[in-house]
Amino acid sequence: MALRDIICIPDPRLRQKSAPVRTVTPEVRALVADMFETMYAAPGIGLAAIQVAVPLRIITMDLSRQEEPKAPRVFIDPEILAASDDTVPYEEGCLSVPDYYEEVLRPARVRLRYMDLDGKVHEEDADGLLATCIQHEIDHLDGVLFIDHLSKLKRDRVMKKFVKAAKRAAE
């Protein structure tokens, strides 16, 4: 296992659409292990492979609270099959948009299909934090960031801030 660097906006790789995995290989297993180590160290509750510069449709997630035992989950080639019409607001943050949080409206419930590390396909209904988090991470796999769900004014403001910071860091 190894810690990987998390790429941040305005890195253009975050806008890439990730490729399907289709088959779980030893390389996929190693990537997942690295993603968990990176996610826990950040710390975060979800991580898409593209956030560590690997454009594959893989998500790691752990929604357990600090005082609870870890509950790691892996979603390979996840897809949303159905989403509820009703929406709920949730204050989201993102490891690729550090220290910025904003309320986002998303469907309250989703039905998803994904493959686990053993290559077994699952279908599951999700609501609450799981529904929000899975939608956020699947957005990453499609090159969409949570700030894209904000008003143009808010999105432009946060992008400008991160572009300036990236320029300063490059100097």
Distance in angstroms (rounded) separating the CA atoms of residues 106 and 85: 9
* Catalytic member of 68, 102, 123, 137: 137
Would you state the structure tokens that stand for residue 63, as one six-digit string?
Answer: 């929604």
Q: Is 122 in a helix, a strand, or coil?
A: strand
Would you say 79 and 112 are in contact if contact means Cβ atoms under 8 Å apart? Answer: yes
The greatest distance separating any two alpha carbons of the chain, rounded to the nearest whole angstrom, comes to 48
- Whether 137 is a known active-site residue: answer yes
Q: Is 108 in a helix, a strand, or coil?
A: coil
Would you state the structure tokens that stand for residue 11, as one six-digit string?
Answer: 């890195």
Catalytic residues: 137
